[in-house]
Amino acid sequence: MSRLNALRSRFVDAPDSLGAKARARRWNWFAQSFPDLSEMSVIDLGGTASAWLRAPVRPAHVHVVNLEKPPAELPGWLRADVADACELPAAILDTKYDLVFSNAVIEHVGGHLRRQMFADSVHRLAGRHWVQTPYRYFPVEPHFLFPGFQYLPIAVRTSLLRRWPLVHTPTSDREAARNIVMEVELLSITEMRHYFPSSQIRFERLGGLVKSVIAVQAR
């Protein structure tokens, strides 16, 4: 068990892990896509304040929207509110931002209708966006770090989740495990093109294979 946990750290969690290096490359790619980022007002749908506090880039202002309660104290350039990105309150929807950012969220919102509502929010909030999601057909499911996990029946995935030590938040409870499994619905390239028809669809690759799909509207 300890060896497997060490393996997760090596590949995902540690500062020098493959996952950390991939995140650094993605931040760099993001910054290159929006050269005036330091002057922009950004709304992050589904992100966290802590992620921006650690990020190597800093827009002029960031507004984080998430279902989880944010920290009580934040710097002046960073704001966080509790809200559903698929059904944003008018006070947020009517605010104009320079850029919408979202990292690995759309696959969690729940079904086609909710994904379309999420995309509609993205299009309404700003003319530019960066929306990233893990690719459904990458061989290793990124949330559970298990090969082919996304193709297995729900009952099998639930059973695996209760025993597999490499998941981010392990649980031995069957119902909790089933809810976690059913909450993740990875997207295809076709689906991302459907939700973001005017965007440039970019690919993040690992070992030559598409690992994640990014819808980018840079102008």
Tell me: the pLDDT tens digits for 156-201? 999 999 988 888 778 889 999 999 999 999 999 999 999 999 999 9
C-alpha 85/C-alpha 67 separation (Å) is: 8
Question: Which CA distances in Å does 147 have to 18, 37, 57, 144?
Answer: 17, 36, 32, 9
First to last CA, the chain: 48
Tell me: the pLDDT tens digits for 84-135? 999 999 999 999 999 999 999 999 999 999 999 999 999 999 999 999 999 9
Q: State the pLDDT at residue 146.
A: 93
Among 18, 23, 26, 19, residue whose Cα is nearest residue 216 = 26
Which tokens is 188 given? 């295809």
Q: 83 and 90 in contact (C-beta within 8 Å)?
A: no
Q: State the pLDDT at residue 14.
A: 59
Residue holding tokens 């944010």?
70
C-alpha 95/C-alpha 90 separation (Å) is: 8
Q: Is the pLDDT of residue 216 over 70?
A: yes
In degrees rounded to 5, what are phi and psi of residue 42?
A: -115, 135
Q: Would you say the pTM of this structure is higher than 0.85?
A: yes
Q: Is the pLDDT of residue 18 over 70?
A: no
Q: State the pLDDT at residue 126.
A: 98
Banded pLDDT at 50 (limits 50, 70, 90): very high
Q: Is the pLDDT of residue 8 over 60?
A: no
How much is the average pLDDT of 132-160?
96
Report the Cα 137 to chain-centroid distance in Å. 17
